Amino acid sequence: MTDSATRVAIYGPGAMGLHITRLLYERGVPIVAAITRPGSDKVGKDLGTLAGLPPLGVPVRCDAEETLAETAPDAVAVAVDTYLNQAMYDIYATIVRAGANVLTLAEEMLYPFPTSGARARRLDELAKRHGVTVTGTGHQDGYWVGLVSVLAGSAQTLHTVEGELSWNVDDFGPAVARQQHVDSTVAEFGEWLAGAARKPTFGRTALHALAAAIGLTPGRPETRTTPFVAARTIPCAALGKDIAQGRLLGYTDTDILHTEEGVDLVISSTGKVYEAGEADFNEWRATGRPTLRLRNDRVMTRDTTCTTLINRIPDVVRAEPGLVTVDRLPQLRYQASLGKASPGRASAG
């Protein structure tokens, strides 16, 4: 690794993209570009000013191809949408064709092959042709895959691995609040839930990644979903309004992934608007011999989501080309140096 720092671009200067900006600035990482959608009111504004920092001399632009060609980032942090739909594929493909590595917070991109296989394979082939890496990372990388696979590694036998967690919708902005159906009625939520077009849950994607990390063969998945209804009026910062009693604060998904080895992987994830005194937590239990437990209280999920992406930058820059999921990267760790890999990319192993 050389002493020159990795040059990073931000794609999506929303709540998470701006938080990544602040954390990169603290670490002294050069931010060379910021990109958003055409028509955004952020176009032309300084990225540092938007993030509450001193001006960085980095205007937000909407011409992605030109911006990437002119600024030549080594890596692009993408914080736009959850799923590998066509619009997101096009964003990733544009970055890949520009010769930059992609680190994205999109939850499905943690392990997209079971749920968006055709697009994932196309993106994998494209990244290999251009010699760059695409990886989905974030909070799930460490707390739902890395720590849990280490916990399971101390078991003689495994029967189930079960996780329960909660995260605060207000930490992630209005797009995520709407995605969690905050302020919907129970009837509206039930109508949505009964529809045939529901997208894969965060938990299902994470369980596939966990199965890969542990070395299990995925079988049949199940999902059970329940609304979380306000018992009293609760303010929602993400939407800038109060959520009345009887309307949704969010919902809970419980995902179960049966494996061919007979080990059931379970994750119950609640994303909702918090009341005073509530805080994020992650708890995992592995049954078998011995029974194992891991709990993290008062987790700062927004911070861990963004810092995980930042600490993954050197791993992704060094990794083999393609769409590389986190089970194929080195164990997540704090990166004291966010430098740039020297010519001749090392394999992720």
H helices present in the chain, as ranges: 15-26, 47-50, 64-71, 86-97, 117-130, 139-140, 147-152, 174-179, 186-194, 202-214, 301-318
- 231-288 per-position pLDDT tens digit: 999 999 999 999 999 999 999 999 999 999 999 999 999 999 999 999 999 999 999 9
Stretch 44-70: mean pLDDT: 98
* Mean pLDDT rounded to a whole number for the chain: 93
- 278-321 per-position pLDDT tens digit: 999 999 999 999 999 999 999 999 999 999 999 999 999 999 99
Q: What is the DSSP letter of 138?
A: S
Task: Tell me if 193 is assigned to some domain.
Answer: yes
145 shares its domain with 289: yes
**CATH number of the domain to which 182 belongs:** 3.30.360
- 71-98 per-position pLDDT tens digit: 999 999 999 999 999 999 999 999 999 9
Task: Tell me if 337 is assigned to some domain.
Answer: no
Task: Tell me if 70 is assigned to some domain.
Answer: yes
Residues 6+ positions from 187 with CB-CB distance below 8 Å: none
Full DSSP string of 4-45: SBPPEEEE--SHHHHHHHHHHHHTTPPEEEEE--TT-TTTTS
Ranges of beta strands (E only) in 47-132 are 60-61, 75-78, 101-104
Give the residues across from 161 on adjacent strands: 265, 286
Burial label for 290, CB within 10 Å (0-12, 13-18, 19+), is exposed
Q: State whether residue 101 is helix, strand or coil.
A: strand
31 shares its domain with 123: yes
216 shares its domain with 180: yes
Q: How far apart are CA 186 and CA 170, in angstroms?
A: 20
* Relative orientation angle of helices 117-130 and 86-97, to the nearest 10 degrees: 10
Contact present, 106 and 136 (Cβ < 8 Å): yes
108 shares its domain with 151: no
Number of domains in the chain: 2
185 shares its domain with 293: yes
**CATH number of the domain to which 109 belongs:** 3.40.50.720
Contact present, 52 and 22 (Cβ < 8 Å): yes
Q: How far apart are CA 209 and CA 74, in angstroms?
A: 26
Task: Tell me if 336 is assigned to some domain.
Answer: no
Assess whether pLDDT exceeds 50 at residue 348: no
Question: How far is CA 144 from its chain centroid?
Answer: 11
26 shares its domain with 172: no
13 shares its domain with 34: yes
- 24-51 per-position pLDDT tens digit: 999 999 999 999 999 999 999 999 999 9
- 90-146 per-position pLDDT tens digit: 999 999 999 999 999 999 999 999 999 999 999 999 999 999 999 999 999 999 999
Other beta carbons less than 10 A from residue 131's beta carbon:
13
For residue 207, the enclosing domain spans: 140-299
134 shares its domain with 149: no
For residue 238 the two structure tokens come to 């993400």
Task: Tell me if 348 is assigned to some domain.
Answer: no
Task: Tell me if 349 is assigned to some domain.
Answer: no
Q: How far apart are CA 222 and CA 204, in angstroms?
A: 8
Task: Tell me if 333 is assigned to some domain.
Answer: no
Contact present, 171 and 16 (Cβ < 8 Å): no
269 shares its domain with 167: yes
Here the contacts of 24-27 (C-beta below 8 Å, separation 24 or greater) are 24/77, 24/310, 25/51, 25/53, 25/56, 27/310, 27/338
146 shares its domain with 290: yes
For residue 311 the two structure tokens come to 């600490």
Question: How far is CA 166 from its chain centroid?
Answer: 15
114 shares its domain with 43: yes
- 189-231 per-position pLDDT tens digit: 999 998 857 788 989 999 999 999 999 999 999 999 999 999 9
Q: How far apart are CA 349 and CA 342, in angstroms?
A: 17
For residue 285 the two structure tokens come to 């239990």
Residues 6+ positions from 301 with CB-CB distance below 8 Å: 139, 167, 168, 171, 280
Task: Tell me if 246 is assigned to some domain.
Answer: yes
